[in-house]
Amino acid sequence: MAKLPLEGVRVVAIHLVWALPYACQLLADFGAEVIWVESLQHFPRATRGLMARPPKELVPMLGSIGRGFPDMDPGERPWNRVAAFNIHMRNKHSCTMDLTRPKGMEMFKRLISTADVFVENNAVGRMPKLGITYESLKEVKPDIIMLSAPGYGNTGPYNKYVGYGFNVECVSGFTSLRGYPEDAPTTCSSTFWMDATSGAAMPFAVMSALHYRKRTGKGQFIDFSQSENLMQWYGESIMDYTANGRVQGTLGNRHTSAVQGCYPCQPSPRRIRPEVFAPKDFADDQWINISIFNDEQWQGLCRAMGNPEWTKDDKFADALSLYKNHDELNKHIAAWTRTQDKYDAFRILQKEGVPSGPVLDDKDVFADPHVKERGFFQEINAPECGTHLYPGLAWKMSKTPGSIRKPPVRVGEDNEYVYKKIMGVSEAEYEEMAKEQHIGMDFI
């Protein structure tokens, strides 16, 4: 039987928050052995929760990211129970060592000597301060590959700038190109799109370097600037400036040439969602996206709406007129969508060949027949969280499929395996290190 595609690749990670953890999730889902080095002395904020031990009554105040404990209860070890972070922890191994003490660093180097790749996305300067540099790792593992992924890259005048991903997205130009046209960017929501884009491309960077090492025996250092990778996502907008001197802004939900929008649908009585503080009625928060790229799709939309009289108006006679009269067209389309359930409208429109789709909230996705049919969600029983459905694999491979083999990893869960099996540490030394609080499962 075929192995997992990345079986045999060992990656040691000191990763934070979302970008690199997501990349390591992809590597681990497809068979790489990802060993996350944590430290009981250092609670990684926004990586295993917003606080190490939030009081239960504070939980509703922690926002969508911080509050996601099973039944909103932080439990005994809150750091093993946060949805926003448990999503990327499956299939990984966790070991603990205090990197600020010589014994911890000695063990870290020992682990590196068995690794193919070391990855980190800490603030610039934090790793060197601990004594971890590409040069120092090369001394213990000459062909090591190191990927370092700070927001703005390792060099340059902004490399030590402080901020969240949202800040870096602002400096990368991403925020200037989105949001409601009437008052952007002041009303832009906080997004973490840069984390997603980094997570998608970092595994490619790592595997490219591994392939080169296999051919030549040489390791290397990858300076992964998350902002510079993100800027690839709208290169054409940047080039509209470099080639034409035009500074693009936001189009809201519109398109440069297609006619499109996000239109309101019939309220759905099924959708009263539990809210953080009190149940709230979001029944009328139902939407469908529709895009019209050509005449054929416009005719499809007309048929779907039952060919109403207004569609025959000269204002909507051809693609140019449609675009010119976009505002008015939107009102007409919305008048129709308001009478439709979003899924009904979706099916009617697709039958007529119109690019369209409901805006799915979290609950909708679990009920979607296509998502179900493809078996996307997978049940995982996590020791401290119970059994839930988790987002599954990002893609399907016909002969060496990825898999979920291990529940979201708890802090220090794999200490025995990492210390004894990988590094060959004796029972006595292991006990000593546990006593010294290098090894354990609870933040201090």
Partner 1 sequence: MDQALSDVKILDLTQNIAGPFCTKYFADYGADVIKIERPGEGDPARRSGPFFQDDPDPEKSLLFLHLNTNKRSITLNLKSDTGKTIFKELVKEVDVVVENFSPRVMPSLGLSYEELEKINPKLVMTSISNFGQTGPYRDYKASNLVQEGMGHAMYSCGIEGRPPSKLAGSAMEYQGGAMAASASIFALWAKWEQGIGQHVDLSIMEANLTSIDRRAAGLLGYQYTGIVTGREPLAQMGILPMEIAPCADGFVALLLLPEYYPGFLRMLDIPGLGDQFPNLFDMEKKGEFEAIWRPWVAERTKNEIMEKGQAQSISITAVYTTEDLVKSPHFNDRGYWVDIDRPVTGKITQPGAPFIMSETPWQAKRGAPLLGEHNEEVYGEKLGYSKEDLVKLRESGVI
Binding-site size, partner 1 (CB under 8 A) = 169
Confirm or reject binding of residue 394 to partner 1 (CB under 8 A).
yes
217-221: Cβ within 8 A, 24+ apart: 217/143, 218/143, 219/138, 219/141, 219/142, 219/143, 219/144, 219/145, 219/146, 220/145, 220/146, 221/134, 221/145, 221/146, 221/148
Confirm or reject binding of residue 404 to partner 1 (CB under 8 A).
no
Sheet with strand 356-358: strands edge to edge = 259-264, 287-292, 356-358
Q: Give the one residue of 260, 311, 340, 415 binding partner 1; rule: CB under 8 A.
A: 260
CA atoms of 436 and 104, how far apart (whole Å):
10
Confirm or reject binding of residue 267 to partner 1 (CB under 8 A).
no
Amino acid present at 286: Q
Confirm or reject binding of residue 46 to partner 1 (CB under 8 A).
no
Among 190, 343, 165, 194, residue whose Cα is nearest residue 271: 343
For partner 1, the closer of residues 223 and 436 by Cβ is: 223
Contact 440, 412 (CB under 8 A): yes
Local structure of residue 386 (DSSP, 8 states): E
Contact 418, 95 (CB under 8 A): yes
Q: Least distance from C-beta 73 to partner 1, angstroms?
A: 10
Question: In the range 110-149, which residues lie near partner 1 by CB under 8 A?
Answer: none
Q: Give the one residue of 51, 105, 130, 170 binding partner 1; rule: CB under 8 A.
A: 170
Q: Least distance from C-beta 61 to partner 1, angstroms?
A: 8
For partner 1, the closer of residues 316 and 376 by Cβ is: 376
For partner 1, the closer of residues 74 and 104 by Cβ is: 74
Q: Least distance from C-beta 119 to partner 1, angstroms?
A: 12
Question: In the range 284-343, which residues lie near partner 1 by CB under 8 A?
Answer: 285, 287-291, 293, 297
Contact 20, 120 (CB under 8 A): yes
Confirm or reject binding of residue 86 to partner 1 (CB under 8 A).
yes
Confirm or reject binding of residue 171 to partner 1 (CB under 8 A).
yes
Using CB under 8 A, which of the segments 125-133, 171-179, 313-321, 432-440 binds partner 1?
A: 171-179
Would you call 340 helix, strand, or coil by DSSP? coil
Q: In sequence order, which residues have a C-beta less than 8 Å from that of residue 310 and are 6 or more positions away?
A: 316, 332
Q: Least distance from C-beta 289 to partner 1, angstroms?
A: 4
Confirm or reject binding of residue 268 to partner 1 (CB under 8 A).
no
Using CB under 8 A, which of the segments 36-44, 103-111, 236-244, 433-441 binds partner 1?
A: 236-244
- Cα distances (Å, whole numbers) of residue 393 to 2, 88, 397, 416: 18, 11, 10, 28
Confirm or reject binding of residue 44 to partner 1 (CB under 8 A).
no
Question: In the range 5-24, which residues lie near partner 1 by CB under 8 A?
Answer: 5-9, 18-19, 21-22
Q: Report residue 111 CA to chain centroid gap.
A: 27
